[in-house]
Amino acid sequence: MIQASSFIDIVLVETSHPGNIGSAARAMKNMGLSNLVLVNPKKFPHGDARALAGNAKDLLQHAKVTKNLKDALQDAKYVFATSSRERSISWPSISSCEASKKIVNLANKNQKAVIIFGREDSGLTNEELQLSNEHIIIPADEDYPVLNLAMSVQLVCYEIFTQANQNMEYKWQDFPEYTNKEINDLIEHFKKVAIKSGTVDPNNPKQILTRIERMFRRLNIDKMEGNFLRGFLSKIEKKIDT
């Protein structure tokens, strides 16, 4: 969950297909957002919305529904309107990446940031775009610069999630790392077996043993891996000695 996510609203304007509402809700929940606002939806509530929402049905249940866009923006501190292209009326524009920085910063200050998404077929009108502080331009190939509504929501929410969690560390090791002593013991064991096996000439090792030591220290070996290697080396050493 994004810190202060309650200060980020996703607003969908006059969505035609209820399935797109459900898909947008699912995209939001994937990225830790929960405030969904629907402006004059054509069909809502609806079974298609629930079906495509998956486990994000709670967002549909708590969605705010308004008759017009101005009502949806009453509590906003800063408003972003999304568009796939530049409009005839010049307006401050920003990339979704840069917008996400502002959105997260506002939310962390407990200030409401709102992102508006338009209709599936025609997007937002010029009048609706002018209710925003900045336009988020979602770039796409010029031959077909039209994104599905839920895809647009997913892209913007992903940028927000990434910005909010930019220092997140992903744990991939399932066993503790070898300690420095255990690494030292493994390296010495490997050197010993390499010399015993005749793979390395102890009188002329060149740089290979130094490179092997560098390799082991670079690998961040965990206890499962390290213990397997120690056992493997012990088996080889036993074969050599017999």
Q: Are 51 and 22 in contact (CB under 8 A)?
A: yes
Cα pseudo-dihedral 11, 105, 164, 23, rounded to 10:
0
Q: Quick check: is 59 in a domain?
A: yes
**Rounded to two decimals, what is the model's pTM?**
0.73
What residues have CB less than 8 Å from 21, skipping those under 6 apart? 12, 15, 36, 38, 41, 44, 46, 49, 53, 60, 63
Residues 43 and 147 both lie in one domain: yes
The pLDDT value recorded for residue 62 is: 97
Residues 103 and 207 both lie in one domain: no
Q: Mind giving me the DSSP string for 82-119?
A: EESS--SS---EEEHHHHHHHHHHHHHTT--EEEEE-B
What CATH number should be reported for the domain holding residue 93? 3.40.1280.10
Residues 16 and 81 both lie in one domain: yes
Cα pseudo-dihedral 91, 97, 98, 99, rounded to 10:
60
Which structural domain, as residue segments, surrounds residue 109? 5-164
Ranges 3-7, 214-218, 224-228, 233-237: which has the least confidence: 3-7
pLDDT at 63 over 90: yes
> Is residue 161 left, alpha or beta, with left meaning phi > 0 and alpha meaning psi from -120 to 50?
alpha
Residues 44 and 147 both lie in one domain: yes
Q: State the pLDDT confidence band at 189, using cuts at 50, 70 and 90.
A: very high
Q: Quick check: is 54 in a domain?
A: yes
Q: Quick check: is 174 in a domain?
A: no
What CATH number should be reported for the domain holding residue 209? 1.10.8.590
Which segments within 86-223 are labelled E, that is strand?
A: 93-95, 113-117, 134-137
Residues 12 and 120 both lie in one domain: yes
Interval 111-135: pLDDT, tens: 999 999 999 988 899 899 999 999 9
Mean pLDDT confidence for 39-48: 96
